[in-house]
Amino acid sequence: MVKENLDEVVTSWLDVTNDSEQCDAVDERLAKRRRLEKGVSWFVDDSLGIMFFTFGKRPNQKLFPVHTEVACRYSSVITFYIDRTGLTRYPLFTKSEDAARLLMKWLYSQKLEVLQLEDDWEKIQAHATPNAAKEEDAALVELWVLADKLDIGALQNQVIKAIDDVYKDFEYVFPETIAVVYKITSGPCELRKLFVRITANDFERDNFIKEEKSYPREFLRDLVLLGFGRLGDNQFIYQDPDAFYVYDTEVDGTEDSEGESGEECDDWSDGKENVVEVVPEMPSSTRKVVHGLGLLLNV
């Protein structure tokens, strides 16, 4: 996020409401924590105190306390916000509380906890909700967008790596996850590009047909454009109209006949001159995408 563009957003941040009773309770807990942290040299400037990330709306708004120095160290957006407004509350514009918690943990550890990548994931899953994997995938997507708003590129890159690791471990991406990506992002962002290429890399026609209604239309468009973009001038998709002629009984035989060659009617073409051609050098992922273009375009 470019700092110059933040001027337009600051005004919307200034109307963050105060909940003094909740703040007092949190401040008391923080005072105890800070006494324990005295003498720890990692917090260079303790005078900056504590700020709060706010999540949700009143009356159910939640506060996430964080050392101001820590937040400013990794986010130029928060630094600009505090310098410009003087406020110590920053609203997290995300609908995912899991993403907010992942952000808090990362600020203090620079490590991203992904349960699906744990060695004992199967045991964890046995005691988790049925949609635990989907929910974690969605939280990672929300976290990437949140990190983008806060200008924390290192966290964005870790999220991309985690998504890739999960995909490589399970060789599957939930259509619902892609739907979340396209709902909370716009334009040709890196997160969209990642999921388009992952899908193209492991395109399975039968599975795609079963789940096609779950995919956003924009995603299908991007998938088609990726397929077209990978085609070279010598990779012919269309040559002559003959390949699309219907079976003519007067020319090709009677309705009860299999044709002079004895082949099924669906295969009346000689299979050489008027069929879709794909050169051997075409990558397998591209062939799969091209093979599915008819499906994606509903033709």
CA 257, 260, 266, 268 torsion: positive or negative?
negative
Q: How confident is the model at residue 9 (pLDDT cuts 50, 70, 90)?
A: very low
Query: Which helix (H) or strand (E) covers residue 159, if one does?
Result: helix 153-170
Confidence at 113, pLDDT banded by 50, 70, 90: very high
Per mean pLDDT, which of 1-5, 193-197, 199-203 is the most reliable?
193-197
Length of the chain, in residues:
299
The pLDDT tens digits for 62-108 are 999 999 999 999 999 999 999 999 898 999 988 899 999 999 999 99
Q: Per-residue confidence at 283, pLDDT binned at 50, 70, 90?
A: low
- For the stretch 133-162, what's the b/e string if a residue is b when 16 or more beta carbons lie within 10 angstroms of its beta carbon? bebbbbbbbbbbbbbbebbbeebbebbeeb
- Kindly indicate the confidence band of residue 229, based on its pLDDT and cuts at 50, 70 and 90: confident
Domain boundaries, the chain: 1-93
Range with lowest mean pLDDT among 29-38, 146-155, 248-257: 29-38
- What pTM does this model have? 0.68
